[in-house]
Every structure is written in structure tokens, then in C-alpha cells.
Structure 1
């Protein structure tokens, strides 16, 4: 049972990372924000409820805003480290939330 849960979690993490990389590449190439691709991708590809997808998108916006604020008041080196830590924590919270919501 535990091995099956771990395998399912590993597959989900691979899907989330792959989807994030694909969306990041496409939106970076086009020079636009990723929310308009991320929300439908979360709903369609990962079968996340719409409220969860919107909440995830809002979390990303909040993390980016916090990193920008840190950059404004501290300098780019500290802001880069802070941004990395925030995104790592946010990724862990998002994956755990998706696992909890999916049952």
C-alpha cells in the first residue's frame, strides 16, 4: 500500500515538474505570464479542481511579488536566494495539497 502511494506521488511530481517546465518555456518564449496556461493545464492534465488551480496560481503570484519586494529592499543576491527558498517551500506545499485533495 505504501509503495503504491509513493509510486503515485512520484508520478504526480514528474507530471507537475514536466508541466511546469513546458508552461515556463512557452510563456518565457512568448514573453507573457504563465497563469493563462497554468490554470487550464492544472485542471485538464492534473485533474485539479478549478478552485485548487486558481489558488495555486494566486500562490505563485504572491511568491513572485514577495521575491520582487525582497529584491527592491535588499539587493539581487539576497532576493535570488529568498526567491528560491520561497519557490521550494511553495512547491512542497502545492504537491502536498494536491495529494491531500486527491484522496
Structure 2
């Protein structure tokens, strides 16, 4: 009967599954954030052409999506830190949350 001997340095199957889930969660948050940032860009373009009450409604939507995007960005940073990634300069470059619109 053959036996398979694992190296002490080899990760356990549960560790591999855990890491895969962490990466998947990071990917999902990043994709959600990308979608929100794209929505904000579209709203920014739209706001340039609006005035009056229609503009105010779109500004309210913009501010809500922006707030949600800030929260998703925070979630992304927290997940990265849980994985041992503490330099967030790449997050700043890849996921810039636009400024508040008035």
C-alpha cells in the first residue's frame, strides 16, 4: 500500500480552500466597487447637462452611490489587511472615489 507523505511546508486542503475564498471575496468586492465607480462616472456626465429639480434628484442618487462606493472601498481595504496586504496605494490608484458633487 502506497502512502503519500506531505511536506511540512505544504498547505492543507482547508488552507487552500480558505485562501481561495478570501481571494474570491476580494474579487467580488472589487467588481462591485468597479461597477459603482462606473455608475458615478455616468452620473457625473449626466449632471453636467441637468439643472433644477432633475439635477437635485440625480445629485441625491450620486451621493448615495458615492457613499456606498466609499463603504465598499473600506471593505476592500479591510479584506486586503486580513490577507496581510497593508500597502493600499494600488487601491488608491485603481479605485479612486470621485469627490462630492454639489
- TM-score, normalising length from structure 2? 0.37
> Which structure has the highest helix share of the two?
1
TM-score (norm 1): 0.37
Q: Which has the higher contact order (CA 8 A, sep 6+)?
A: 2
